[in-house]
Structure 1
Amino acid sequence: MTYRSSPRIGLVTGETAPNLTEDGQALQTELGNRGFSAESVLWTDSTVEWDSFDVVLVRSCWEYHSQLDAFQNWLDRIENVDVVLLNSADTIRWNHHKFYLRDLEQRGVSILPTTWVERSTEIDLRTVLEYDDWREVVVKPAVGTSSSGVWRTSHDEARKHQQRFEDIISSNDVLIQQFAPEIEDGERSLVFFEGSFSHATRQLPAADDFRAHPNYGGSSEPYEPPREIVEQAAAVLEAAGKELGTSPIDFTYARVDGIERGDEFLLMELELIEPYLNLDAGEDAVAVFTDAIEAGVARHATAPAENHRSSPRTDD
């Protein structure tokens, strides 16, 4: 693949956040300082000529789950033009559906105890709690972002919530996860660039909620994770790389979200599509992120054309 003397980079946004965030603006400035031409671009804009870009970096397409077929078609379109997509289309396809957590668990990653419910399954919510001996659970649609459609119930309230549950599984795969009280102490978010740890934050839920997301009153603060927590989060990326037949270095960015239970890190989400990266929380994080983008561009520039897409998954 051949690039212009000033490679053009599309920073992909979505309809709910069409303009670059503060992080995005800082990244755009740093890319410009290094000779790149970077601009925001809506993935839903049908007038965009995607082959006019050298690199397309997915950043804030937070509503893609509500237009999933269109988003999948967009990925197909990007793959069929001579442009580098970061992270890769194979990575995004795998990561958009939360059953990827089951794949990671099978590769030895510790996750919250989970029951996986496929769409249209006839199942009684309270029976699930009784079978697993869970008092409280969180119900999550398998495709969604920003805690959308996530809710909490208990053994005593499950019967009352059965219709709500049936409404969801009529059109969605669903995860039922044992509620983790540790969330009150904050969800840990560890950010990696090319598989190397950069920085972390602690996401705290509002006093009257359990969702550690700003849409529901959550807040964020800097966090210095212990070495063993960083190592366990890095192991999540190693497992993801094996699942996808690639290496963590090919994840230009990643955010590993979880809770601490003693010395153990329990994975809640692996964000490889459009996570907010809290670049202001990490020393030189904007520069390090830009380094990762440059390295990704360089790898694709030197790789044979047939290797531009991710390799198939392996079973090792």
Structure 2
Amino acid sequence: MTEDGQALQTELRNRGLSAESVLWTDSTVEWDSFDAVLVRSCWEYHTQLDAFQNWLDRIENADVVLLNSADTIRWNHHKFYLRDLEQSGVSILPTTWIERTTEIDLRTVLEYNGWQEAVVKPAVGTSSAGIWRTSHDEAQNHQQRLEDLVSNSDVLVQQFAPEIDDGERSLVFFEGSFSHATKQVPSSDDFRAHPNYGGISEPYKPSHKIVEQAEAVLEAAGKELGISPFNFTYARVDGIERGSEFLLMELELIEPYLSLDAGEDAVAAFADAIEAGLARHAAALAQDDRSIPRTDD
């Protein structure tokens, strides 16, 4: 369990809630024995995607509260959700969307878009796994690598953003309300800000305007899913700053590290959001129960 997870578990127990850490891959777990399941550090789900999807179905069938919801997770696990958000007016990095098995030439993609450099990403993945950088000069040598990737996955090719050298911004929200933020700075010899590749986390205080733009991302995501951002128990909005504009790179609604130690009262705010999610579910059940017609024998 991460340090964040340990801190949250302690807070929940202090509130009288029984909380334990279990693996989603553990076949011996009786999921219907829980009132709720909070999805956290399942960072390997993309390597067992079918099993993960089946697990989501199992949780739903067990009538257990899932935070965030199964519909949210299904939408968010595939990075083409960024296309949905772009169509809703969210600013993202310029992107070419390549569906699995599509025949496409990497250099042609760069030339058509007028890009000198780009980043290639599998549409399903975590922790910067499978992501690589290319350029107009290197594209021909990378063609086979792209073909191998597209043979098994949908793919995004995005214009490389030099602003990443100044750090990827991560804004954390609980129930749609901003909590805190950090900045992930890549090492000098890599472009990936993830700690697996030498990235480090630094304090970051976003401007009010940046927070508003991140909130707009959650609003757009909520509209896509037909829910209020209030229903996102947790969310991390990742992007870069280009001038005063926030460009979305990822909206993390499944398993992001939330850097709870970077936010004042962040652990308590997270626990509040979990309790609120449970209360909403209980209220919905009560409403459903009242709406069932009663007949006397």
Same fold (TM over 0.5): yes
Per-residue Cα deviation, 1:44-102 (whole angstroms, up to 9, x for no partner): 00010000000100000000000000000000000001210000000000000000000
How far apart, CA to CA, are the structure 1 residues paired with 2:3 and 2:78?
A: 28
Per-residue Cα deviation, 1:281-308 (whole angstroms, up to 9, x for no partner): 000000000000000000001103798x
- 1:65-80, aligned counterparts within 5 Å? 65-80=46-61
Task: Choose from 38, 45, 68 the match for 1:87.
Answer: 68
- 1:104-143, aligned counterparts within 5 Å? 104-143=85-124
Check if 1:301 corresponds to 2:282: yes
Structure 1 residues 37 and 133: CA distance shift in structure 2, 3 A: same
Task: Choose from 161, 173, 186 the match for 1:192.
Answer: 173
Match of 1:127, SS?
A: helix
How far apart, CA to CA, are the structure 2 residues paired with 1:141 and 1:301?
A: 38
Shift in Å, 1:222? 1.2
Letter in 2 for 1:185: D
How far apart, CA to CA, are the structure 2 residues paired with 1:172 and 1:100?
A: 15
How far apart, CA to CA, are the structure 1 residues paired with 2:215 and 2:142?
A: 37
Runs of 4+ in 1 over 4 A off after TM superposition: none
**What residue number does 1:289 align with?**
270
Task: Choose from 11, 16, 23 the match for 1:42.
Answer: 23
- 1:134-283, aligned counterparts within 5 Å? 134-283=115-264
Structure 1 residues 153 and 269: CA distance shift in structure 2, 3 A: same
Consecutive unaligned residues of structure 2, counting only runs of 5 or more, are 289-297
How far apart, CA to CA, are the structure 1 residues paired with 2:175 and 2:117?
A: 37
How far apart, CA to CA, are the structure 2 residues paired with 1:247 and 1:66?
A: 30
Give the TM-score taking structure 1 as reference length: 0.90
How far apart, CA to CA, are the structure 1 residues paired with 2:75 and 2:267?
A: 26
Letter in 2 for 1:151: W
How far apart, CA to CA, are the structure 1 residues paired with 2:286 and 2:22?
A: 25
How far apart, CA to CA, are the structure 1 residues paired with 2:83 and 2:65?
A: 29
Letter in 2 for 1:70: A
* Aligned length in residues: 288
How far apart, CA to CA, are the structure 2 residues paired with 1:235 and 1:250?
A: 15
Match of 1:221, SS?
A: strand
Consecutive unaligned residues of structure 1, counting only runs of 5 or more, are 1-19, 308-316
**What residue number does 1:4 align with?**
none
**What residue number does 2:45 align with?**
64
How far apart, CA to CA, are the structure 2 residues paired with 1:44 and 1:175?
A: 28
How far apart, CA to CA, are the structure 2 residues paired with 1:57 and 1:306?
A: 24
- Taking only the aligned residue pairs, the percentage that are identical comes to 84
